[in-house]
Amino acid sequence: MAKRVALSGNEAVALAMKQIEPDVIAAYPITPQTEIVQTFSSFVAEGLVKTEFITVESEHSAMSAVVGSCAAGARSMTATSANGLALMWEVLYIAASNRLPIVMPVVNRALSGPINIHCDHSDSMGARDASWIQLFSENAQEAYDNVIQAIAISEHEDVLLPTMVMMDGFIISHALDTLYTLEDEDVQTFIGNFEPETALLDIENPITVGPLDLYDYYFEHKRQQAEGMAKAKAVIKQVAAKYESLTGRKYGFFEEYQLDDADVALVAVGSSAGTIKDAVDKMRDKGLRVGLLKLRTFRPFPYEEIAASLGNCKAVAIFDRSDSFSTFGGPLFNEIRAALYEQQDRPKVTSYIYGLGGRDLKVEDVEKVIDQTNKGAEDKDAKTLHYLGVRE
């Protein structure tokens, strides 16, 4: 039976991890993620879980430790933010290339420098091509639900890839929210046991993990990774359907809000979706047909489904809380614009970089974007890249 509770995003994720009860967690503190592993360590200290909790000297070591434990056949997790994720960089690729279903909550925070501890998506967007599944969360409820589903997605035999579950630093991680949680036994039944096909500790069937892999086989192994990511799309839908039957909460690749008849569509990930929904409602009251596509699944990238959802709009504005520094828009913008390329009457697509370093996005800011996007729908010469709310 579901319980209605009040928890911060960090507490909600720590609770999900407690209910999952992984065999191993290796962790190193970093703001604003620290509270997740600190809370989980208290569960270990109180004997509430049997997890082996490994304290390490860096995030590079944390990811290295869970690579080792997962390769040995143990269900393994860690968590991080920003510079911690960047320090893991080398090992992110090793985890994915060894097809290890590690699940890692990432509390989004701006990458240095200058040093900043507040939210943007430069950390996880920078890792978008590391062959990790990436799920974004709008609030604490979604963060809790995504962590539980991530275990089932990553460990599926057709996938076997690690997953990052994102939530916005401080906005979600430290804010108190109401959500519904599951019973421990329901979570355990949902995720099942971790039964790897091969493991380093299976001495009857010895294997090698992470060997030298030159041009004779490397390409084929990369192709296998790509196939695992492609198959993850179907698995994400299967796991979401199973989770909906358990909780009544529906998940997919994205949420469509007021999009059925929209002429103008906005696209965003993370907590800003709530602010954008308020702006959409206000503009709808004024008679403007506008809607939101809130993307949950960024890897694998559901380009066909996105094109189908946005293809009938006249104009689309993409909100990126990170900059690609390509001078041609943010990472989300570039991928969605490419997804719409095959549309016969593709909409005008514009990029809005916003909220870097934790700067607020206000309803009035979104209303301004809606007005600009609506007016520029038929203007082929309209500016493509905008920096929203910056002093210039």
pLDDT tens for each residue of 42-91 = 999 999 999 999 999 999 999 999 999 999 999 999 999 999 999 999 99
For tokens 């057709």, name the residue: 158
Q: What is the mean pLDDT of residues 156-170?
A: 98
**Percent residues over pLDDT 90 in the chain:** 94
pTM of this prediction?
Answer: 0.98
Q: Is the pLDDT of residue 101 over 80?
A: yes
Beta bridge pairs of residue 167: 107
pLDDT at residue 377, rounded to an integer = 80
How far apart CA 121 and CA 357 sit, in angstroms, is: 9
Q: Is the pLDDT of residue 256 over 90?
A: yes
Cα→Cα distances 57→70, 160, 387, Å? 19, 28, 38
> What architecture is domain 255-387?
3-Layer(aba) Sandwich (3.40)
- Does the bond joining 206 to the residue before it have cis omega, within 30 degrees of 0? no
Q: What is the mean pLDDT of residues 347-358?
A: 97
374, 288 in Cβ contact below 8 A? yes
Domain spans of the chain, in order of start: 3-193+214-247, 255-387
Q: Tell me whether the CATH fold assigned to 3-193+214-247 matches the one assigned to 255-387.
A: yes
pLDDT in tens, 258-308: 999 999 999 999 999 999 999 999 999 999 999 999 999 999 999 999 999
In CATH terms, 3-193+214-247 corresponds, of 3.40.50.300, 3.40.50.970, 2.120.10.30, 3.20.20.30, to 3.40.50.970
Q: Is the pLDDT of residue 376 over 90?
A: no
pLDDT at residue 64, rounded to an integer = 98
